[in-house]
Structure 1
Amino acid sequence: MTWQLRRARAADVDAIMALETRIFVNDAWSAEAMAQDVANPNCYYLVAFPPDEPDRIEAYAGLQAPRGAHEGDVQTIAVTEQARGHGLGRTLMLSLIAEARKRGVREVFLEVRADNPSAQALYLRLGFEELGLRRGYYQPDNVDAIVMRLHVPDPEMQMTPAEAAAEATE
Structure 2
Amino acid sequence: MRWWDIEPVLELEKDLFPEDAWSRGMFWSDLAHARGPEATRRYLVAEDDSVERGGRIIGYGGLAAAGDVADVQTIAVAREHWGTGLGAVLLTELLRAATTFECAEVMLECRVDNVRAQKLYERFGFEPIGFRRGYYQPGNVDALVMRLRDPSASLPSVQEIEVQGTESNG
TM-score (norm 2): 0.82
Q: 1:123 to 1:154 in 2, by over 3 A?
A: closer
Deviates more, 1:49-58 or 1:23-32: 49-58
Kept after mapping to 2: 8 A contact 1:49/1:55: yes
Structure 1 outlier segments of 4+, above 3 Å: 52-55, 153-156
Kept after mapping to 2: 8 A contact 1:10/1:38: yes
Amino acid of the structure 2 residue aligned with 1:97? L
Aligned partner (choices 2, 5, 12) of residue 19 of structure 1: 12
Kept after mapping to 2: 8 A contact 1:97/1:152: no
In 1, the alpha carbon distance for the partners of 2:141 and 2:7 equals 27
Report the counterpart of residue 55 of structure 1 in structure 2: 55
Kept after mapping to 2: 8 A contact 1:9/1:39: no
Following superposition, the deviation at residue 45 of structure 1 comes to 0.4
Following superposition, the deviation at residue 154 of structure 1 comes to 4.2
Kept after mapping to 1: 8 A contact 2:96/2:152: no
* RMSD after superposition: 1.5
Aligned partner (choices 113, 130, 133) of residue 132 of structure 1: 130
In 2, the alpha carbon distance for the partners of 1:154 and 1:34 equals 26
**More contact order relative to length (CA 8 Å, sep ≥ 6):** 2
Amino acid of the structure 1 residue aligned with 2:89? T
In 2, the alpha carbon distance for the partners of 1:153 and 1:14 equals 31
Following superposition, the deviation at residue 51 of structure 1 comes to 2.6
SS at 1:40 equivalent: coil
Following superposition, the deviation at residue 155 of structure 1 comes to 5.9
- After superposition, residues 105-124 of structure 1 pair within 5 angstroms as 105-124=103-122
SS at 1:26 equivalent: coil
SS at 2:57 equivalent: coil
Amino acid of the structure 1 residue aligned with 2:143? A
Post-superposition CA distance 1:23-74 (Å, at most 9, x none):
00000111111111123131100100123555300000000015xx200000
- The answer for unaligned runs of 5 or more in structure 1 is 1-7, 157-170
Following superposition, the deviation at residue 134 of structure 1 comes to 0.5
- After superposition, residues 80-159 of structure 1 pair within 5 angstroms as 80-154=78-152
Equivalent pairs, count: 147
Q: 1:138 to 1:153 in 2, by over 3 A?
A: closer
% identity of equivalent residues: 46
